[in-house]
Structure 1
Protein backbone atom coordinates (compact mmCIF):
# COMPACT_ATOMS: atom_id res chain seq x y z
CA UNK A 1 0.00 0.00 0.00
CA UNK A 2 1.39 3.40 -0.97
CA UNK A 3 2.40 5.61 1.95
CA UNK A 4 0.08 8.43 0.88
CA UNK A 5 -2.86 6.03 0.67
CA UNK A 6 -2.02 4.56 4.08
CA UNK A 7 -1.95 8.09 5.49
CA UNK A 8 -5.35 8.85 3.95
CA UNK A 9 -6.81 5.65 5.41
CA UNK A 10 -5.46 6.48 8.88
CA UNK A 11 -6.83 10.03 8.62
CA UNK A 12 -10.29 8.72 7.69
CA UNK A 13 -10.23 6.22 10.57
CA UNK A 14 -9.15 9.04 12.90
CA UNK A 15 -11.97 11.28 11.67
CA UNK A 16 -14.55 8.50 12.03
CA UNK A 17 -13.29 7.71 15.53
CA UNK A 18 -13.33 11.31 16.76
CA UNK A 19 -16.77 11.72 15.19
CA UNK A 20 -18.30 9.89 18.16
CA UNK A 21 -17.20 12.78 20.37
CA UNK A 22 -18.64 15.23 17.83
CA UNK A 23 -21.95 13.34 17.99
CA UNK A 24 -21.90 13.63 21.79
CA UNK A 25 -21.28 17.35 21.38
CA UNK A 26 -24.33 17.66 19.13
CA UNK A 27 -26.50 15.54 21.44
CA UNK A 28 -25.84 18.10 24.15
CA UNK A 29 -27.32 20.83 21.92
CA UNK A 30 -30.38 19.19 20.31
CA UNK A 31 -32.64 16.16 20.07
CA UNK A 32 -30.50 13.16 18.96
CA UNK A 33 -32.90 12.07 16.20
CA UNK A 34 -33.20 15.61 14.84
CA UNK A 35 -29.40 15.87 14.94
CA UNK A 36 -29.10 12.73 12.83
CA UNK A 37 -31.88 13.86 10.50
CA UNK A 38 -30.08 17.14 9.85
CA UNK A 39 -26.84 15.25 9.25
CA UNK A 40 -28.38 13.24 6.42
CA UNK A 41 -30.34 16.21 5.09
CA UNK A 42 -27.14 18.13 4.50
CA UNK A 43 -25.34 15.02 3.22
CA UNK A 44 -28.08 14.58 0.57
CA UNK A 45 -28.82 18.19 -0.35
CA UNK A 46 -27.78 19.92 -2.48
CA UNK A 47 -25.50 17.07 -3.68
CA UNK A 48 -28.37 15.09 -5.26
CA UNK A 49 -29.00 17.98 -7.68
CA UNK A 50 -25.48 17.68 -9.10
CA UNK A 51 -24.80 13.93 -8.90
CA UNK A 52 -26.53 11.51 -11.23
CA UNK A 53 -28.65 8.81 -9.61
CA UNK A 54 -26.73 5.51 -9.56
CA UNK A 55 -28.00 2.58 -11.60
CA UNK A 56 -29.48 0.84 -8.58
CA UNK A 57 -33.13 0.06 -7.84
CA UNK A 58 -34.85 2.73 -5.76
CA UNK A 59 -35.95 0.12 -3.22
CA UNK A 60 -32.29 -0.76 -2.62
CA UNK A 61 -31.41 2.90 -2.10
CA UNK A 62 -34.32 3.24 0.31
CA UNK A 63 -33.39 0.08 2.21
CA UNK A 64 -29.78 1.17 2.53
CA UNK A 65 -30.70 4.75 3.45
CA UNK A 66 -33.16 3.69 6.15
CA UNK A 67 -30.82 1.08 7.60
CA UNK A 68 -27.78 3.38 7.48
CA UNK A 69 -29.51 6.59 8.58
CA UNK A 70 -32.08 5.33 11.08
CA UNK A 71 -30.81 1.88 12.05
CA UNK A 72 -27.12 2.73 12.43
CA UNK A 73 -26.68 6.42 13.15
CA UNK A 74 -30.13 7.24 14.49
CA UNK A 75 -29.90 4.46 17.07
CA UNK A 76 -26.20 5.06 17.78
CA UNK A 77 -26.81 8.77 18.42
CA UNK A 78 -29.78 7.86 20.60
CA UNK A 79 -27.58 5.46 22.57
CA UNK A 80 -25.16 8.29 23.33
CA UNK A 81 -28.12 10.41 24.43
CA UNK A 82 -29.15 7.53 26.73
CA UNK A 83 -25.83 7.43 28.54
CA UNK A 84 -23.24 5.58 26.45
CA UNK A 85 -19.92 7.42 26.31
CA UNK A 86 -18.43 8.37 22.96
CA UNK A 87 -15.61 5.89 23.44
CA UNK A 88 -17.76 2.93 24.38
CA UNK A 89 -20.26 3.62 21.58
CA UNK A 90 -17.45 3.42 19.03
CA UNK A 91 -16.30 0.10 20.48
CA UNK A 92 -19.80 -1.42 20.52
CA UNK A 93 -20.41 -0.32 16.94
CA UNK A 94 -17.19 -2.06 15.90
CA UNK A 95 -18.77 -5.30 17.10
CA UNK A 96 -20.71 -5.22 13.82
CA UNK A 97 -17.70 -7.04 12.37
CA UNK A 98 -18.46 -10.25 14.26
CA UNK A 99 -22.24 -9.71 14.14
CA UNK A 100 -21.80 -9.67 10.37
CA UNK A 101 -20.16 -13.10 10.63
CA UNK A 102 -23.23 -14.43 12.45
CA UNK A 103 -25.58 -12.92 9.85
CA UNK A 104 -23.46 -14.45 7.10
CA UNK A 105 -23.86 -17.89 8.66
CA UNK A 106 -27.63 -17.44 9.10
CA UNK A 107 -28.58 -15.76 5.81
CA UNK A 108 -25.75 -16.62 3.41
CA UNK A 109 -25.06 -20.11 4.78
CA UNK A 110 -21.39 -19.32 5.19
CA UNK A 111 -19.32 -21.86 7.13
CA UNK A 112 -17.01 -20.94 9.97
CA UNK A 113 -13.57 -22.42 10.47
CA UNK A 114 -12.27 -23.19 13.94
CA UNK A 115 -10.14 -20.02 13.88
CA UNK A 116 -13.15 -17.84 13.05
CA UNK A 117 -15.20 -19.53 15.77
CA UNK A 118 -12.48 -18.73 18.31
CA UNK A 119 -12.38 -15.12 17.12
CA UNK A 120 -16.16 -14.86 17.26
CA UNK A 121 -16.35 -16.25 20.79
CA UNK A 122 -13.57 -13.92 21.96
CA UNK A 123 -15.39 -10.85 20.62
CA UNK A 124 -18.75 -11.93 22.09
CA UNK A 125 -17.18 -12.40 25.53
CA UNK A 126 -15.57 -8.97 25.21
CA UNK A 127 -18.92 -7.39 24.35
CA UNK A 128 -20.49 -9.17 27.31
CA UNK A 129 -17.93 -7.56 29.64
CA UNK A 130 -19.27 -4.12 28.68
CA UNK A 131 -22.50 -4.94 30.53
CA UNK A 132 -20.51 -5.21 33.79
CA UNK A 133 -19.03 -1.70 33.62
CA UNK A 134 -20.30 0.46 36.51
CA UNK A 135 -18.41 3.76 36.14
CA UNK A 136 -21.33 5.65 34.56
CA UNK A 137 -20.00 5.48 31.00
CA UNK A 138 -22.58 2.89 29.94
CA UNK A 139 -26.27 2.25 30.59
CA UNK A 140 -28.18 -0.94 29.89
CA UNK A 141 -30.70 0.74 27.56
CA UNK A 142 -27.89 2.62 25.84
CA UNK A 143 -25.99 -0.62 25.18
CA UNK A 144 -29.12 -2.15 23.64
CA UNK A 145 -29.54 0.75 21.21
CA UNK A 146 -25.82 0.66 20.35
CA UNK A 147 -26.04 -3.08 19.69
CA UNK A 148 -29.05 -2.44 17.44
CA UNK A 149 -26.89 0.05 15.54
CA UNK A 150 -24.13 -2.58 15.21
CA UNK A 151 -26.62 -5.12 13.85
CA UNK A 152 -27.88 -2.54 11.35
CA UNK A 153 -24.31 -1.86 10.23
CA UNK A 154 -23.89 -5.58 9.59
CA UNK A 155 -27.13 -5.64 7.56
CA UNK A 156 -25.67 -2.87 5.40
CA UNK A 157 -22.75 -5.15 4.61
CA UNK A 158 -25.22 -7.80 3.45
CA UNK A 159 -26.94 -5.25 1.20
CA UNK A 160 -23.62 -4.20 -0.36
CA UNK A 161 -22.67 -7.86 -0.79
CA UNK A 162 -25.89 -8.63 -2.68
CA UNK A 163 -25.97 -5.54 -4.95
CA UNK A 164 -23.63 -4.40 -7.73
CA UNK A 165 -22.77 -0.73 -7.17
CA UNK A 166 -20.69 1.05 -9.81
CA UNK A 167 -20.62 4.51 -8.23
CA UNK A 168 -20.43 4.23 -4.44
CA UNK A 169 -20.29 7.99 -3.83
CA UNK A 170 -23.51 8.56 -5.78
CA UNK A 171 -25.05 5.58 -3.99
CA UNK A 172 -24.26 7.07 -0.56
CA UNK A 173 -25.55 10.53 -1.53
CA UNK A 174 -28.81 9.30 -3.02
CA UNK A 175 -29.47 6.83 -0.22
CA UNK A 176 -29.20 9.69 2.30
CA UNK A 177 -32.44 11.26 1.05
CA UNK A 178 -34.45 8.40 2.59
CA UNK A 179 -33.19 8.96 6.15
CA UNK A 180 -34.27 12.49 7.27
CA UNK A 181 -38.08 12.20 7.14
CA UNK A 182 -38.22 8.92 9.15
CA UNK A 183 -35.79 10.39 11.71
CA UNK A 184 -37.76 13.63 12.08
CA UNK A 185 -41.01 11.65 12.26
CA UNK A 186 -39.62 9.34 14.95
CA UNK A 187 -38.55 12.38 16.98
CA UNK A 188 -42.07 13.82 16.67
CA UNK A 189 -43.69 10.54 17.73
CA UNK A 190 -41.44 10.23 20.80
CA UNK A 191 -41.22 13.87 21.90
CA UNK A 192 -43.86 15.83 20.00
CA UNK A 193 -42.76 19.26 18.82
CA UNK A 194 -40.47 19.93 21.79
CA UNK A 195 -37.28 18.97 19.95
CA UNK A 196 -38.08 21.18 16.97
CA UNK A 197 -39.07 24.11 19.19
CA UNK A 198 -35.85 23.76 21.18
CA UNK A 199 -33.86 23.69 17.95
CA UNK A 200 -35.52 26.87 16.69
CA UNK A 201 -34.83 28.77 19.91
CA UNK A 202 -31.50 27.35 21.06
CA UNK A 203 -29.52 26.58 17.90
CA UNK A 204 -25.89 27.62 18.29
CA UNK A 205 -22.52 27.18 16.63
CA UNK A 206 -21.76 23.94 18.51
CA UNK A 207 -24.87 22.26 17.14
CA UNK A 208 -24.23 23.60 13.64
CA UNK A 209 -20.63 22.39 13.76
CA UNK A 210 -21.71 18.90 14.87
CA UNK A 211 -24.26 18.60 12.03
CA UNK A 212 -21.95 19.89 9.30
CA UNK A 213 -18.95 17.85 10.46
CA UNK A 214 -21.02 14.67 10.41
CA UNK A 215 -22.60 15.49 7.04
CA UNK A 216 -19.62 16.54 4.95
CA UNK A 217 -16.22 15.33 6.23
CA UNK A 218 -17.54 12.15 7.88
CA UNK A 219 -20.37 11.00 5.61
CA UNK A 220 -19.40 12.32 2.17
CA UNK A 221 -15.64 12.89 2.18
CA UNK A 222 -14.92 9.97 4.50
CA UNK A 223 -16.92 7.36 2.62
CA UNK A 224 -15.74 8.64 -0.77
CA UNK A 225 -12.06 8.44 0.24
CA UNK A 226 -12.44 5.08 1.94
CA UNK A 227 -14.35 3.45 -0.89
CA UNK A 228 -11.80 4.69 -3.42
CA UNK A 229 -9.15 2.83 -1.43
CA UNK A 230 -11.37 -0.24 -1.04
CA UNK A 231 -11.72 -0.36 -4.83
CA UNK A 232 -7.92 -0.23 -5.23
CA UNK A 233 -6.70 -2.48 -2.40
CA UNK A 234 -7.83 -5.92 -1.17
CA UNK A 235 -10.05 -6.21 1.90
CA UNK A 236 -7.24 -8.05 3.68
CA UNK A 237 -5.38 -4.72 3.56
CA UNK A 238 -8.29 -2.37 4.33
CA UNK A 239 -10.26 -4.33 6.92
CA UNK A 240 -7.59 -4.25 9.67
CA UNK A 241 -7.43 -0.46 9.36
CA UNK A 242 -11.06 -0.23 10.53
CA UNK A 243 -9.82 -1.44 13.93
CA UNK A 244 -8.28 2.03 14.33
CA UNK A 245 -11.77 3.61 14.50
CA UNK A 246 -12.68 2.51 18.07
CA UNK A 247 -9.14 3.26 19.22
CA UNK A 248 -9.49 6.86 18.01
CA UNK A 249 -13.04 6.85 19.39
CA UNK A 250 -11.81 5.98 22.87
CA UNK A 251 -8.93 8.44 22.56
CA UNK A 252 -11.32 11.24 21.60
CA UNK A 253 -13.57 10.46 24.57
CA UNK A 254 -10.57 10.53 26.91
CA UNK A 255 -9.33 13.86 25.50
CA UNK A 256 -12.63 15.74 25.24
CA UNK A 257 -14.74 14.13 27.99
CA UNK A 258 -12.11 12.79 30.37
CA UNK A 259 -13.41 9.24 30.11
CA UNK A 260 -11.58 6.86 32.41
CA UNK A 261 -10.25 3.62 30.93
CA UNK A 262 -10.28 1.04 33.72
CA UNK A 263 -9.17 -2.59 33.54
CA UNK A 264 -12.61 -3.92 32.50
CA UNK A 265 -12.86 -1.47 29.60
CA UNK A 266 -9.32 -2.25 28.53
CA UNK A 267 -9.87 -6.02 28.61
CA UNK A 268 -13.22 -5.67 26.81
CA UNK A 269 -11.64 -3.52 24.11
CA UNK A 270 -8.74 -5.93 23.64
CA UNK A 271 -11.04 -8.96 23.47
CA UNK A 272 -13.40 -7.42 20.89
CA UNK A 273 -10.59 -6.15 18.68
CA UNK A 274 -8.53 -9.31 19.09
CA UNK A 275 -11.50 -11.48 18.13
CA UNK A 276 -12.06 -9.41 15.01
CA UNK A 277 -8.35 -9.46 14.26
CA UNK A 278 -8.26 -13.26 14.55
CA UNK A 279 -10.97 -13.55 11.92
CA UNK A 280 -9.24 -11.09 9.61
CA UNK A 281 -5.86 -12.79 10.02
CA UNK A 282 -7.21 -16.09 8.71
CA UNK A 283 -8.34 -14.48 5.47
CA UNK A 284 -4.99 -12.74 5.16
CA UNK A 285 -3.06 -15.99 5.67
CA UNK A 286 -5.23 -17.83 3.14
CA UNK A 287 -4.46 -15.15 0.57
CA UNK A 288 -0.72 -15.51 1.18
CA UNK A 289 -0.92 -19.31 0.82
CA UNK A 290 -2.87 -18.90 -2.43
CA UNK A 291 -0.23 -16.57 -3.85
CA UNK A 292 2.62 -18.88 -2.81
CA UNK A 293 0.92 -21.90 -4.36
CA UNK A 294 0.19 -19.93 -7.53
CA UNK A 295 3.82 -18.85 -7.86
Structure 2
Protein backbone atom coordinates (compact mmCIF):
# COMPACT_ATOMS: atom_id res chain seq x y z
CA UNK A 1 0.00 0.00 0.00
CA UNK A 2 1.41 3.39 -0.99
CA UNK A 3 2.05 6.13 1.56
CA UNK A 4 -0.75 8.18 0.00
CA UNK A 5 -3.24 5.34 0.39
CA UNK A 6 -2.12 4.66 3.95
CA UNK A 7 -2.90 8.30 4.71
CA UNK A 8 -6.30 7.92 3.05
CA UNK A 9 -6.94 4.87 5.20
CA UNK A 10 -6.01 6.75 8.36
CA UNK A 11 -8.27 9.60 7.22
CA UNK A 12 -11.18 7.15 7.10
CA UNK A 13 -10.29 5.91 10.58
CA UNK A 14 -10.41 9.46 11.94
CA UNK A 15 -13.64 10.29 10.09
CA UNK A 16 -15.37 7.17 11.42
CA UNK A 17 -13.99 7.58 14.95
CA UNK A 18 -15.26 11.17 15.14
CA UNK A 19 -18.55 10.03 13.61
CA UNK A 20 -19.58 8.68 17.02
CA UNK A 21 -19.11 12.16 18.52
CA UNK A 22 -21.38 13.56 15.80
CA UNK A 23 -23.98 10.89 16.57
CA UNK A 24 -23.83 11.82 20.26
CA UNK A 25 -24.48 15.49 19.41
CA UNK A 26 -27.47 14.45 17.31
CA UNK A 27 -28.92 12.18 20.01
CA UNK A 28 -28.53 14.88 22.66
CA UNK A 29 -31.22 16.83 20.79
CA UNK A 30 -33.25 14.49 18.57
CA UNK A 31 -35.16 11.36 19.67
CA UNK A 32 -33.12 8.35 18.46
CA UNK A 33 -35.52 6.94 15.85
CA UNK A 34 -36.41 10.38 14.52
CA UNK A 35 -32.69 11.21 14.23
CA UNK A 36 -32.14 7.95 12.35
CA UNK A 37 -34.99 8.83 9.97
CA UNK A 38 -33.44 12.26 9.35
CA UNK A 39 -29.97 10.78 8.90
CA UNK A 40 -31.11 8.56 6.04
CA UNK A 41 -33.77 10.85 4.54
CA UNK A 42 -31.20 13.60 3.98
CA UNK A 43 -29.23 11.15 1.85
CA UNK A 44 -32.19 9.36 0.25
CA UNK A 45 -33.67 12.37 -1.57
CA UNK A 46 -30.60 13.28 -3.68
CA UNK A 47 -29.80 9.59 -4.21
CA UNK A 48 -33.25 8.92 -5.71
CA UNK A 49 -32.94 11.99 -7.94
CA UNK A 50 -29.36 11.71 -9.16
CA UNK A 51 -27.84 8.26 -8.53
CA UNK A 52 -28.71 5.35 -10.85
CA UNK A 53 -29.86 2.22 -9.09
CA UNK A 54 -27.10 -0.43 -9.25
CA UNK A 55 -27.45 -3.73 -11.00
CA UNK A 56 -27.87 -5.89 -7.95
CA UNK A 57 -29.73 -8.92 -6.68
CA UNK A 58 -32.77 -7.36 -5.03
CA UNK A 59 -33.31 -9.74 -2.11
CA UNK A 60 -29.66 -9.51 -1.05
CA UNK A 61 -29.76 -5.74 -1.48
CA UNK A 62 -32.72 -5.67 0.93
CA UNK A 63 -30.84 -7.86 3.42
CA UNK A 64 -27.92 -5.43 3.20
CA UNK A 65 -30.16 -2.37 3.60
CA UNK A 66 -32.21 -3.81 6.48
CA UNK A 67 -29.19 -5.22 8.31
CA UNK A 68 -26.62 -2.48 7.77
CA UNK A 69 -28.96 0.50 7.44
CA UNK A 70 -31.94 -0.25 9.66
CA UNK A 71 -31.07 -2.84 12.33
CA UNK A 72 -27.57 -1.55 13.00
CA UNK A 73 -28.59 2.06 13.55
CA UNK A 74 -31.85 1.27 15.34
CA UNK A 75 -29.97 -0.65 18.03
CA UNK A 76 -26.92 1.65 18.06
CA UNK A 77 -28.90 4.89 18.42
CA UNK A 78 -31.16 3.34 21.06
CA UNK A 79 -28.13 2.04 22.98
CA UNK A 80 -26.40 5.44 22.96
CA UNK A 81 -29.64 7.18 23.90
CA UNK A 82 -30.13 4.87 26.89
CA UNK A 83 -26.66 5.29 28.37
CA UNK A 84 -24.04 3.57 26.21
CA UNK A 85 -20.87 5.70 26.43
CA UNK A 86 -19.85 7.08 23.05
CA UNK A 87 -16.32 5.70 23.07
CA UNK A 88 -17.37 2.24 24.19
CA UNK A 89 -20.08 2.21 21.51
CA UNK A 90 -17.38 2.61 18.84
CA UNK A 91 -15.63 -0.40 20.35
CA UNK A 92 -18.51 -2.79 21.06
CA UNK A 93 -19.86 -2.21 17.55
CA UNK A 94 -16.77 -4.08 16.34
CA UNK A 95 -18.65 -7.21 17.43
CA UNK A 96 -19.79 -7.14 13.81
CA UNK A 97 -16.45 -8.73 12.84
CA UNK A 98 -16.82 -12.05 14.73
CA UNK A 99 -20.56 -12.09 13.97
CA UNK A 100 -19.78 -11.78 10.26
CA UNK A 101 -17.40 -14.74 10.43
CA UNK A 102 -20.02 -16.85 12.24
CA UNK A 103 -22.78 -15.90 9.78
CA UNK A 104 -20.43 -16.79 6.94
CA UNK A 105 -20.21 -20.27 8.40
CA UNK A 106 -23.99 -20.57 8.79
CA UNK A 107 -25.14 -19.08 5.48
CA UNK A 108 -22.15 -19.23 3.10
CA UNK A 109 -20.82 -22.59 4.26
CA UNK A 110 -17.42 -21.13 5.03
CA UNK A 111 -15.09 -22.82 7.48
CA UNK A 112 -13.29 -21.07 10.30
CA UNK A 113 -9.61 -21.57 10.94
CA UNK A 114 -8.42 -22.27 14.50
CA UNK A 115 -7.05 -18.71 14.69
CA UNK A 116 -10.46 -17.29 13.77
CA UNK A 117 -12.19 -19.44 16.40
CA UNK A 118 -9.68 -18.32 19.00
CA UNK A 119 -10.02 -14.68 17.95
CA UNK A 120 -13.80 -14.80 18.32
CA UNK A 121 -13.43 -16.35 21.76
CA UNK A 122 -11.01 -13.62 22.82
CA UNK A 123 -13.30 -10.86 21.48
CA UNK A 124 -16.30 -12.32 23.35
CA UNK A 125 -14.22 -12.49 26.53
CA UNK A 126 -13.39 -8.79 26.14
CA UNK A 127 -17.09 -7.95 25.76
CA UNK A 128 -17.85 -9.92 28.93
CA UNK A 129 -15.15 -7.98 30.82
CA UNK A 130 -16.67 -4.66 29.73
CA UNK A 131 -20.22 -5.75 30.57
CA UNK A 132 -19.22 -7.11 33.98
CA UNK A 133 -17.34 -3.92 34.85
CA UNK A 134 -20.30 -1.74 33.92
CA UNK A 135 -22.65 -3.84 36.04
CA UNK A 136 -20.27 -3.66 39.00
CA UNK A 137 -19.71 0.09 38.95
CA UNK A 138 -23.12 1.35 37.83
CA UNK A 139 -25.99 2.23 40.12
CA UNK A 140 -28.27 0.44 37.65
CA UNK A 141 -26.62 -2.91 38.36
CA UNK A 142 -27.73 -5.52 35.82
CA UNK A 143 -29.64 -2.80 33.95
CA UNK A 144 -26.31 -1.20 32.99
CA UNK A 145 -25.62 -4.06 30.62
CA UNK A 146 -28.72 -3.35 28.49
CA UNK A 147 -27.05 -0.60 26.39
CA UNK A 148 -24.07 -2.93 25.89
CA UNK A 149 -26.37 -5.71 24.65
CA UNK A 150 -28.16 -3.26 22.35
CA UNK A 151 -24.80 -2.27 20.84
CA UNK A 152 -23.92 -5.94 20.36
CA UNK A 153 -27.28 -6.34 18.57
CA UNK A 154 -26.26 -3.41 16.35
CA UNK A 155 -23.08 -5.30 15.51
CA UNK A 156 -25.18 -8.34 14.60
CA UNK A 157 -27.32 -6.18 12.31
CA UNK A 158 -24.16 -4.88 10.63
CA UNK A 159 -22.96 -8.48 10.19
CA UNK A 160 -26.21 -9.48 8.45
CA UNK A 161 -25.69 -6.44 6.23
CA UNK A 162 -22.21 -7.74 5.40
CA UNK A 163 -23.69 -11.06 4.30
CA UNK A 164 -26.28 -9.29 2.14
CA UNK A 165 -23.60 -7.07 0.60
CA UNK A 166 -21.44 -10.11 -0.07
CA UNK A 167 -24.24 -11.95 -1.85
CA UNK A 168 -25.72 -8.96 -3.70
CA UNK A 169 -22.89 -8.75 -6.24
CA UNK A 170 -23.53 -5.11 -7.27
CA UNK A 171 -21.99 -3.71 -10.42
CA UNK A 172 -21.09 -0.60 -8.40
CA UNK A 173 -20.63 -1.02 -4.63
CA UNK A 174 -20.68 2.70 -3.86
CA UNK A 175 -24.03 3.17 -5.64
CA UNK A 176 -25.43 0.27 -3.63
CA UNK A 177 -24.17 1.89 -0.42
CA UNK A 178 -25.89 5.15 -1.36
CA UNK A 179 -29.16 3.44 -2.36
CA UNK A 180 -29.15 1.61 0.97
CA UNK A 181 -30.17 4.96 2.51
CA UNK A 182 -33.50 4.86 0.67
CA UNK A 183 -34.82 1.88 2.66
CA UNK A 184 -34.62 2.95 6.36
CA UNK A 185 -36.33 6.41 6.51
CA UNK A 186 -39.97 5.28 6.46
CA UNK A 187 -39.54 2.41 8.97
CA UNK A 188 -37.63 4.73 11.30
CA UNK A 189 -40.28 7.42 10.95
CA UNK A 190 -43.02 4.88 11.73
CA UNK A 191 -41.10 3.73 14.82
CA UNK A 192 -40.64 7.33 15.92
CA UNK A 193 -44.35 8.06 15.59
CA UNK A 194 -45.30 4.87 17.44
CA UNK A 195 -42.69 4.87 20.22
CA UNK A 196 -41.54 8.48 20.60
CA UNK A 197 -44.87 10.13 19.91
CA UNK A 198 -46.11 12.25 17.01
CA UNK A 199 -44.87 15.50 18.56
CA UNK A 200 -41.35 14.45 19.63
CA UNK A 201 -39.77 15.00 16.24
CA UNK A 202 -41.65 18.22 15.64
CA UNK A 203 -40.56 19.64 18.99
CA UNK A 204 -36.93 18.82 18.26
CA UNK A 205 -37.17 20.62 14.90
CA UNK A 206 -38.73 23.73 16.43
CA UNK A 207 -35.81 24.11 18.88
CA UNK A 208 -32.96 23.83 16.38
CA UNK A 209 -31.88 27.37 17.25
CA UNK A 210 -30.81 26.29 20.74
CA UNK A 211 -27.19 25.43 21.56
CA UNK A 212 -27.73 21.69 21.49
CA UNK A 213 -29.92 22.06 18.39
CA UNK A 214 -27.07 23.73 16.49
CA UNK A 215 -24.70 20.99 17.62
CA UNK A 216 -27.25 18.41 16.43
CA UNK A 217 -27.40 20.03 12.99
CA UNK A 218 -23.61 19.96 12.83
CA UNK A 219 -23.64 16.31 13.88
CA UNK A 220 -26.20 15.44 11.21
CA UNK A 221 -24.17 17.19 8.51
CA UNK A 222 -21.02 15.41 9.67
CA UNK A 223 -22.65 11.97 9.74
CA UNK A 224 -24.01 12.36 6.20
CA UNK A 225 -21.18 14.17 4.41
CA UNK A 226 -18.03 13.05 6.21
CA UNK A 227 -18.97 9.88 8.07
CA UNK A 228 -20.94 8.27 5.24
CA UNK A 229 -20.20 9.81 1.84
CA UNK A 230 -16.54 10.75 2.32
CA UNK A 231 -15.66 7.87 4.63
CA UNK A 232 -17.44 5.18 2.61
CA UNK A 233 -16.18 6.65 -0.66
CA UNK A 234 -12.53 6.52 0.43
CA UNK A 235 -13.02 3.03 1.90
CA UNK A 236 -14.51 1.82 -1.38
CA UNK A 237 -11.57 3.35 -3.26
CA UNK A 238 -9.07 1.48 -1.09
CA UNK A 239 -10.90 -1.83 -1.34
CA UNK A 240 -10.97 -1.47 -5.12
CA UNK A 241 -7.17 -1.10 -5.18
CA UNK A 242 -6.06 -3.59 -2.53
CA UNK A 243 -7.04 -6.94 -1.06
CA UNK A 244 -9.55 -6.68 1.76
CA UNK A 245 -7.07 -8.39 4.09
CA UNK A 246 -4.77 -5.38 3.73
CA UNK A 247 -7.48 -2.76 4.23
CA UNK A 248 -9.77 -4.34 6.85
CA UNK A 249 -7.33 -4.12 9.81
CA UNK A 250 -7.45 -0.32 9.57
CA UNK A 251 -11.05 -0.38 10.83
CA UNK A 252 -9.79 -1.76 14.16
CA UNK A 253 -8.22 1.66 14.81
CA UNK A 254 -11.67 3.31 14.79
CA UNK A 255 -12.42 2.52 18.48
CA UNK A 256 -9.07 4.02 19.48
CA UNK A 257 -10.07 7.30 17.82
CA UNK A 258 -13.62 7.03 19.19
CA UNK A 259 -12.54 6.42 22.80
CA UNK A 260 -9.83 9.11 22.66
CA UNK A 261 -12.17 11.69 21.08
CA UNK A 262 -14.89 10.89 23.64
CA UNK A 263 -12.39 11.47 26.44
CA UNK A 264 -11.13 14.77 24.99
CA UNK A 265 -14.45 16.23 23.77
CA UNK A 266 -17.12 14.64 25.96
CA UNK A 267 -15.00 14.01 29.07
CA UNK A 268 -15.94 10.32 29.05
CA UNK A 269 -13.29 8.53 31.09
CA UNK A 270 -13.36 4.74 30.70
CA UNK A 271 -12.18 2.70 33.66
CA UNK A 272 -8.94 0.72 33.54
CA UNK A 273 -10.96 -2.50 33.37
CA UNK A 274 -12.94 -1.16 30.39
CA UNK A 275 -9.68 -0.19 28.66
CA UNK A 276 -8.32 -3.67 29.32
CA UNK A 277 -11.51 -5.16 27.89
CA UNK A 278 -11.17 -2.87 24.87
CA UNK A 279 -7.64 -4.14 24.23
CA UNK A 280 -8.87 -7.74 24.49
CA UNK A 281 -11.73 -7.08 22.04
CA UNK A 282 -9.46 -5.40 19.48
CA UNK A 283 -6.93 -8.23 19.77
CA UNK A 284 -9.62 -10.85 19.20
CA UNK A 285 -11.16 -8.97 16.28
CA UNK A 286 -7.72 -8.50 14.73
CA UNK A 287 -7.08 -12.23 14.92
CA UNK A 288 -10.43 -12.94 13.26
CA UNK A 289 -9.93 -10.35 10.51
CA UNK A 290 -6.31 -11.17 9.69
CA UNK A 291 -6.66 -14.94 9.80
CA UNK A 292 -7.14 -16.82 6.55
CA UNK A 293 -10.31 -18.92 6.64
CA UNK A 294 -10.21 -22.63 5.96
CA UNK A 295 -11.23 -23.81 2.52
CA UNK A 296 -14.86 -22.92 1.90
CA UNK A 297 -17.46 -25.45 0.95
CA UNK A 298 -19.41 -22.80 -0.93
CA UNK A 299 -20.19 -23.84 -4.51
CA UNK A 300 -17.75 -22.44 -7.04
CA UNK A 301 -20.34 -20.31 -8.80
CA UNK A 302 -20.56 -18.04 -5.75
CA UNK A 303 -16.84 -17.70 -5.16
CA UNK A 304 -15.93 -14.85 -7.47
CA UNK A 305 -17.84 -11.72 -6.57
CA UNK A 306 -17.49 -8.23 -5.24
CA UNK A 307 -16.28 -7.89 -1.69
CA UNK A 308 -18.41 -5.80 0.63
CA UNK A 309 -17.20 -2.47 -0.71
CA UNK A 310 -14.64 -3.18 -3.41
CA UNK A 311 -15.10 -2.34 -7.04
CA UNK A 312 -13.22 -5.27 -8.53
CA UNK A 313 -14.03 -8.96 -8.59
CA UNK A 314 -11.84 -11.36 -6.66
CA UNK A 315 -12.23 -14.70 -4.89
CA UNK A 316 -13.92 -13.56 -1.71
CA UNK A 317 -13.75 -16.98 -0.12
CA UNK A 318 -10.11 -16.36 0.78
CA UNK A 319 -10.63 -12.87 2.22
CA UNK A 320 -12.14 -11.56 5.44
CA UNK A 321 -15.56 -9.96 5.14
CA UNK A 322 -15.69 -6.23 5.69
CA UNK A 323 -18.08 -3.44 4.89
CA UNK A 324 -17.94 0.30 4.97
CA UNK A 325 -19.07 1.61 8.27
CA UNK A 326 -21.30 4.48 9.37
Query: How far apart are the structure 2 equivalents of 1:283 and 1:17?
Result: 27
Aligned residues: 286
1:198 aligns with 2:203: yes
SS of residue in 2 equivalent to 1:161: helix
1:255 aligns with 2:255: no
Deviations 1:191-225 (A, max 9, x none): 22132232232123212111111112111121111
Alignment counterpart, residue 235 of structure 1, candidates 209, 229, 244: 244
The aligned residue for residue 293 of structure 1 is none
Q: Is the 8 A contact 2:122 2:283 kept in 1?
A: yes
The aligned residue for residue 3 of structure 2 is 3
The normalised TM-score by structure 1 is: 0.91
Q: Is the 8 A contact 1:48 1:173 kept in 2?
A: no
1:176 aligns with 2:185: no
Report the CA distance shift for 1:187/1:169 in structure 2 as closer, same or farther (over 3 A). same
The aligned residue for residue 76 of structure 2 is 76
Query: How far apart are the structure 2 equivalents of 1:20 and 1:133?
Result: 22
How many Å apart are 1:279 and its aligned residue?
2.5
Report the CA distance shift for 1:111/1:66 in structure 2 as closer, same or farther (over 3 A). closer
Deviations 1:110-156 (A, max 9, x none): 22222222111111100111211235599322112111110011111
1:140 aligns with 2:149: no
Alignment counterpart, residue 277 of structure 2, candidates 268, 279, 285: 268
Superposition RMSD in Å: 2.0
Query: How far apart are the structure 2 equivalents of 1:12 and 1:168?
Result: 17
Query: How far apart are the structure 1 equivalents of 2:130 and 2:138?
Result: 12
The aligned residue for residue 312 of structure 2 is none
Query: How far apart are the structure 1 equivalents of 2:111 and 2:53?
Result: 36
Report the CA distance shift for 1:106/1:187 in structure 2 as closer, same or farther (over 3 A). same
The normalised TM-score by structure 2 is: 0.83
The aligned residue for residue 42 of structure 1 is 42
Q: Is the 8 A contact 1:19 1:218 kept in 2?
A: yes
Query: How far apart are the structure 2 equivalents of 1:281 and 1:62?
Result: 28
Deviations 1:88-108 (A, max 9, x none): 111110111111122122222
Deviations 1:42-73 (A, max 9, x none): 12221331111111244443332222222112
How many Å apart are 1:263 and its aligned residue?
1.9
Query: How far apart are the structure 1 equivalents of 2:290 and 2:226?
Result: 30
Query: How far apart are the structure 1 equivalents of 2:2 and 2:27?
Result: 38
Report the CA distance shift for 1:170/1:81 in structure 2 as closer, same or farther (over 3 A). same
Q: Which protein is richer in helix relative to its size?
A: 1
Q: Is the 8 A contact 2:116 2:291 kept in 1?
A: yes
Query: How far apart are the structure 1 equivalents of 2:14 and 2:214?
Result: 23
